[in-house]
Each structure stands twice: as structure tokens, then as C-alpha cells.
């Protein structure tokens, strides 16, 4: 009898999946659509705060921005652009090319410059013509804040691990006791605040400050989402 139990026990272990993904479900408080979470902590906070689905959230942000724009609180800054007063034809396709100064026109005539469309086709520029491996690697490095791909390969994994360590120590604090913690929210939400490290994680990484120091209670605060966005890292 004992042998059968052990055999069944071993069969159960062998048939158990190596990784089980738990899905936490709730309904959007606005439209009633089902929302799924993989992280139990985000599910708990979203349920407690009554956060809507992405579709409803986008509508709220859009309506808020429209109201601010109509009331004059939000203004749209248009990029200043000079009028083009000098023109010449593209030697390849005869389309009109405009220039803002006589000097620019003279230089284009001297160099026999072609239009952007012809240049893209002839020299096979643009993402539609594909990127080289070196270009893709440089893009990844630049996006992560490094000068080249070699530096990216060497430091990026360590930097990500450093960020995770900082947040691991940060979440050990009673964050709910911070001022304006109850107003936390995403960028674009009117009156939303976000958790901020006064000495930023990027600054700590650059100056080799231990993760525990950056995550100290004295280095934590809640600031408005606009200030957090402008501060970065």
C-alpha cells in the first residue's frame, strides 16, 4: 500500500509543470470588461483603487486633456518653421525642392542635390530597406543610455540588476505612510503622484552608491507625475 502511494506521488511530481502562471481576474469598474493580472501585488492595488481598463483609462486621459485645452490651462506649442522662398527642381524626378535661404539654394545647385524621396530610393535609406546588425546594436545601446554596444553588453545586465535591488529594498518600507501615497497614479492623470527616489537610481548607479542607500526611507518621497517625468531615471 505504501509502495503505491509513493509511486503515485512520484508520478504527480513528474507530471507537474515546471512553471505555473497564476492569472488574477477582475472587472473594469467603468465598462465591466475582464482585466487579467499576472502580478498579485498589481492586482491587489488595482482592485483596491478601482483602476479602469486601458480603454477606459485612455478615454479619461483624453477627456482631461481636452478640458484643459478648452479652458486654456493646456496650450499646444507649434514648432516655428520658416517659409521657403527659394526653389529648384530635383535633377532626378523634376519635383520642386524648397529652401529658406539663397545660400542653401546655391549650395544645392553646386552639389546637384536630389530630393529626399530620390535619395531614399537610390541609397536605400530608411527602415523599410532594413537595418544592419551594427545599426540595430547601436540603437539598443543608445536607448539604454550607453555610447556603444560593447559598453551596453558589459554594463546593462548589471544596471538592470541594480535597479531591481533598489526596488526590492524600497518595497520593504511602509510606503502607504508617505504623504500623497493615496493619490498615486500614472502619467497624464490629473492630480496623480508617483514614488520618487530623491537621489535617482541612475545617479546612484553612475556614482556607485549601494542599492540599500538609494532605497533608504530618507531618500523616498511622492511627487507630482509631471515633476517625476521631467526628472527622469
Q: Could you read off the pLDDT of 61-72 as tens digits, one per residue?
A: 888 888 887 888
Listed by start position, the domains of the chain span 21-78, 86-129, 147-231
- Is residue 188 within 8 Å of 225, Cβ to Cβ? yes
> Which pLDDT score, from 0 to 100, does residue 196 have?
92
CB contact at 8 A, 214 and 201: yes
In sequence order, which ranges of 124-224 are alpha helices (DSSP H)? 133-143, 149-170, 201-206, 211-214
Interacting residues of 97 by C-beta distance below 8 A, sequence separation 6+: 87, 88, 89, 90, 108, 113, 115
Task: Give tens-digit pLDDT for 108-121.
Answer: 899 888 888 888 77
Residues of the chain with pLDDT under 70: 1-21, 76-82, 124-130, 232-233
pLDDT of residue 1: 44
Would you state the pLDDT for residue 128? 58
Reference 52, options 32, 23, 22; nearest CA is 32
pLDDT at 8: 45
DSSP conformation letters of 65-121: HHHHHHHTSS-PPPPP-PPP-EEEE-TTT--EEEESSHHHHHHHHHHTPPPHHHHHH
The pLDDT assigned to 68 comes to 82
Residue 25's DSSP bridge partners are 36
pLDDT of residue 10: 44
Amino acid at each position: 500500500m505504501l509502495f503505491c502511494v509513493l509511486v503515485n506521488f512520484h508520478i504527480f511530481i513528474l507530471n507537474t509543470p515546471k512553471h505555473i502562471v497564476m492569472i488574477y481576474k477582475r472587472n473594469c469598474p467603468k465598462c465591466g470588461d475582464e482585466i487579467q493580472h499576472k502580478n498579485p501585488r498589481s492586482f491587489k492595488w488595482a482592485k483596491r483603487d478601482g483602476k479602469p481598463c486601458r480603454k477606459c483609462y485612455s478615454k479619461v486621459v483624453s477627456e482631461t486633456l481636452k478640458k484643459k485645452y478648452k479652458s486654456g490651462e493646456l496650450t499646444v506649442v507649434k514648432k516655428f518653421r520658416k517659409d521657403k522662398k527659394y526653389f529648384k527642381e530635383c535633377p532626378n524626378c523634376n519635383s520642386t525642392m524648397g529652401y529658406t535661404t539663397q545660400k542653401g539654394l546655391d549650395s544645392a545647385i553646386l552639389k546637384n542635390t536630389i530630393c529626399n524621396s530620390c535619395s531614399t530610393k537610390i541609397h536605400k535609406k530608411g527602415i523599410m530597406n532594413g537595418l544592419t546588425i551594427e545599426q540595430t546594436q547601436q540603437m539598443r545601446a543608445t536607448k539604454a543610455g550607453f555610447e556603444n554596444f560593447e559598453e551596453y553588453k558589459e554594463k546593462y545586465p548589471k544596471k538592470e540588476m541594480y535597479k531591481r535591488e533598489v526596488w526590492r529594498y524600497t518595497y520593504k518600507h511602509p510606503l502607504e505612510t508617505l504623504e500623497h501615497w493615496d493619490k498615486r497614479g500614472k502619467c497624464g492623470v490629473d492630480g496623480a503622484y508617483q514614488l520618487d527616489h530623491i537621489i535617482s537610481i541612475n545617479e546612484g548607479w553612475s556614482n556607485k552608491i549601494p542599492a540599500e542607500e538609494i532605497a533608504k526611507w530618507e531618500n523616498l518621497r511622492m511627487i507630482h507625475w509631471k515633476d517625476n517625468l521631467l526628472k527622469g531615471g
